[in-house]
Amino acid sequence: MSATEETVRVWLVERTYSDDEQNLIILTYATPDGEQYFRKERALTSFSDVRETTAAVDADPDNLGSVDDEDLQAQYAAEATRMAEKHDPDDAI
């Protein structure tokens, strides 16, 4: 599922709002097997600050974390697979 030999395609599996900071959205992307994740934080500076969230991104393998919890791996794998089946990588979500 690599986009190129230098990147790994990961799919959006979770979007949460930070409890610690206002106006911070945490986007979690994962590999289709659910074993690795990529986390992206986005500050919302204003209502006019429009940046699309895409169904998938291509991440540097060095920026991927390991998912050690088996239940979370299964959850991420199911959601990443669902996103890959329903959306093109560049689809706005």
Residue 27 lies in a domain: yes
Query: In angstroms, rounded to a whole number, what is the distance separating the alpha carbons of residues 8 and 2?
Result: 4
What tens digit of pLDDT does each residue of 36-45 get?
A: 999 998 876 6
DSSP 91: -
15: left (phi over 0), alpha (psi -120 to 50) or beta: beta
Query: In angstroms, rounded to a whole number, what is the distance separating the alpha carbons of residues 39 and 30?
Result: 9
How buried is residue 37: exposed, middle or buried, by Cβ count under 10 Å (0-12/13-18/19+)?
Answer: buried
pLDDT on residue 42? 85
Residues spanned by the domain of 22: 8-86
Residue 51 lies in a domain: yes
How many domains does one find in the chain? Answer: 1
Residue 47 lies in a domain: yes
What tens digit of pLDDT does each residue of 15-51 get?
A: 998 777 677 889 999 999 999 999 998 876 655 556 7
On the question of pLDDT at 2 being above 50, the answer is: no
What tens digit of pLDDT does each residue of 52-90 get?
A: 899 999 999 999 999 999 999 999 999 999 999 999 999
pLDDT on residue 48? 58
pLDDT on residue 22? 72
pLDDT on residue 4? 53
Residue 1 lies in a domain: no
